[in-house]
Chain A
Amino acid sequence: MFNGGSAKSLIDLQRGEVSREVFVNENLYREELERIFARAWLYIGHESQIRRPGDYFVSCMGEESVILTRDPAGQPRAFLNTCRHRGMKVCRYDEGHTVHFICPYHGWSYATDGRLVGVQQYETAYQPPFDRAQWGLIEVAQLATYRGTVWATWDPAAPPFLDYLGEARLALDLALGPWDGGDGETELLGSVQKWLIPSNWKFVAENFAGDGLHVVSHRSVDMVGIGPNQREGRRDDFGSLFLAAAPRWGHGITYSYLPADAERNDYAASMETSRYFKECWEKRRRKLGERAGLQVIVGTIFPNMSMHGQQPRTILVAHPRGVDMTEMWRVYFVDKDAPREVKQFLRHYYIRYSGPAGMTEQDDMENWNYATSASRGTIARRYPYHYKAGLGVGSIHQFIPGLVTGQPVSLSSEQNTRILYRRWAEFMDASSWSELTAARDS
């Protein structure tokens, strides 16, 4: 597949080295679209974006636009955003509500369940008439929802979503669950931030999978202090850290753990928010005991869905747009039942942390940008990247699933990124999901 070799030959897990070709090679990039983005489960949206039948949200899978909608029967559905007649992008709004998607080009119309329901001059121009049932919108092969998030894959042979999540399921439970540990819901806090960064998409994925070493790059924001408590740093106190990988699936999570007898911070800028978090923490402790303090800091579900699990709480999808271009889509979450003042307080905090104006994320994007461009050269690409931190250290934890590396090593272990690239190579080399399944069983 690559110079006749295998993708596996680009990843040396024993030595902790990954070839730069993985990040800069055009041919590999095109293979990724085929072998990863057309087969893996991808995050495509949130149910709160399509509450009623007819609501739609224009999303994206790999490079391609996808319409996420809710059909008349109330089921979420996802279709490629291209007309079956001559390819026109059927829907060019970001979101909305409709009965039919009407193609601007020659007027074909599609119902929200994808059926082709209107064809201009159908009775007169087509002799014999063609079977409209064969010409509906192209639908994803599988769609799954989990705690409000919506996922899809183009591969009918992909395993069920919950299998695919593997040990990372706990991370989604924690990141998408309410603060008080109860049964309430979280909801999207408004609109999506979308922006382009000149970087290979995997810099984003590996950063969120677990790159404790890059914390040093955020020194400027730590000096200034933008956290909700307005002191030094950019977050609340979160206790100790644990890196956990889902070794067979390629997902990487950084968990934090605060002992159950710890107290939560006050937020001087908003007493209402302080009170809310204290109440939630009390409830959480009562309900979850010693596990109450387990939270997700960051994580990546392979390949390109990344998250912040607590403060801030967001999902970031790194959509590929070329070997050296990525379109970032970021959404933010709050407890649905939180008071308005709490949501607004968090909104301000979230967007001064993340996104293109995020005082933390800005420095990440500068690094991903110039790491990509400085790796492209003929000489540069002969030399592999270095992923040796914490080689051979991971073990099993009492209640964190997966391969776990705890403090003090966690801040320097690159186990999650190594596992992400191992899975990357498996995807790139396998010709089908049955081979991929075999790869993870071996």
Chain B
Amino acid sequence: MASGKNTLITGPAIDSALAHLVLTREVEDFLYYEADLLDERRYEEWLTLLTDDIRYWMPIRKNVPYRDERGDITGEEDIAWIDDDKATLTKRVRQIMTGVHWAEEPASRICHIISNVRLVEPGVALDANELVVGSRFCVYRNRVETETDFLVGRRQDTLRRIDGALKLARRKIILDQNVLMAKNLTMFF
């Protein structure tokens, strides 16, 4: 089913197909809820969705030859746009809440549109503790008067089930820009 093959599901296969569907819906709901928290500036609640060992990573995209095996994404130990742990993400939230973080004062209007949500790595069992989830984002930011940024790309998340609830354990944010066309990245993705 995840592969998109147009097969008719019958018999025992229906149970696993339904389980997959339910899980996908749960994951979508988690991601949309997360987007609501961010867009409603409920940042402290947002922090509770993150595991304590989260890696929140936004590498840089490079102009490379099509066939370059290293790919166009900066590596794990290279300079990135963002490479945060929970402590730093918490500090970012606290910085916004100081009321004197001028880059977010007055507050920006931010809208996350999350789509193309898909459970990747089909080999992962549906009841596994961790899930890898792919999605796309359109993050729109408008601030002060006419200042507008539109940042688009992919995310690859690892979600972990803790005490029955999904939490975000890793996020890789792949922004489709080389020279960043926003003056800063005060927003979360």
Contact = CB atoms under 8 A, between A and B. Distances in A.
B178 interface: yes
Contacts of A363: 101-103
Interface stretch (B6-14, B131-139, B179-187): B179-187
B64 A96 contact: yes
Given A189-B79, A224-B91, A356 B62 contact: no
A347 B79 contact: yes
A226 interface: yes
Contacts of B62: 93-95, 191
Chain B interface bracket (under 10, 10 to 19, 20 to 34, 35 or more): 35 or more
Nearest to A189: B79
Contact of A359 (B81, B91, B178): B91
The B interface is mostly helix, strand or loop, or mixed, namely: loop
Contact of B179 (A196, A217, A359, A365): A196
Interface of A is mostly: mixed
B63 A191 contact: no
Interface string A307-335: 00000000000000000000100011000
Interface in A178-214: 189-199
B98 A224 contact: yes
Interface stretch (B20-28, B82-90, B117-125, B158-166): B82-90
A88 interface: no
Contacts of A347: 77, 79, 83
A369 B100 contact: no
Given A223-B98, A347-B83, A356-B185, A194 B180 contact: yes
A355 B186 CA distance: 11
A92 interface: yes
B42 interface: no
A191 B182 contact: no
Nearest to A326: B183
A345 to B, nearest CB: 11
A357 interface: yes
A196 B64 CA distance: 21
Contact of B60 (A193, A217, A226): A193
A219 B81 contact: no
Interface string B68-95: 0000001101111111110110011011
Contact of B180 (A219, A225, A348, A356): A356
Given A363-B103, A365-B183, A366-B184, A357 B98 contact: no
A6 interface: no
A352 B78 contact: no
B65 interface: yes
Contacts, number: 123
Interface in A335-368: 340, 343-344, 347-348, 350-352, 355-357, 359, 361-363, 365-367
Contact of A366 (B58, B79, B95, B103): B103
Interface size, A (range): 35 or more
Contact of A357 (B78, B100, B144, B185): B185
B26 to A, nearest CB: 30
Contacts of A195: 179-183
A220 B100 contact: yes
A442 B87 CA distance: 55
A327 B98 CA distance: 29
B179 A344 contact: no
A230 B181 CA distance: 31
B183 A198 contact: yes
Contacts of B100: 219-220, 223
A221 interface: yes
A103 B50 CA distance: 48
Contacts of B101: 220-221, 362-363
Contacts of B80: 351
Given A190-B74, A362-B103, A220 B95 contact: yes
Contacts of B58: 357
Given A356-B180, A357-B82, A190 B102 contact: no
A193 B79 contact: yes
A93 B179 contact: no
B88 A348 contact: yes
Interface of A: 92-96, 189-199, 217, 219-221, 223-226, 230, 327, 331-332, 340, 343-344, 347-348, 350-352, 355-357, 359, 361-363, 365-367, 369-370
The 10 closest A-B pairs by CB, nearest first: A195-B180, A190-B78, A362-B103, A220-B101, A357-B185, A190-B79, A220-B98, A197-B183, A366-B103, A362-B184
Interface of B: 58, 60, 62-65, 74-75, 77-85, 87-88, 91-92, 94-95, 98-103, 144, 178-186
Given A219-B100, A223-B100, 13 more contacts: A94-B178, A190-B78, A191-B79, A196-B179, A199-B183, A220-B95, A220-B100, A327-B179, A351-B80, A355-B81, A356-B185, A357-B82, A359-B91
16 contacts: A92-B63, A93-B63, A189-B79, A190-B75, A193-B81, A193-B180, A195-B182, A220-B99, A230-B87, A348-B83, A348-B85, A348-B88, A351-B80, A351-B81, A357-B58, A362-B184
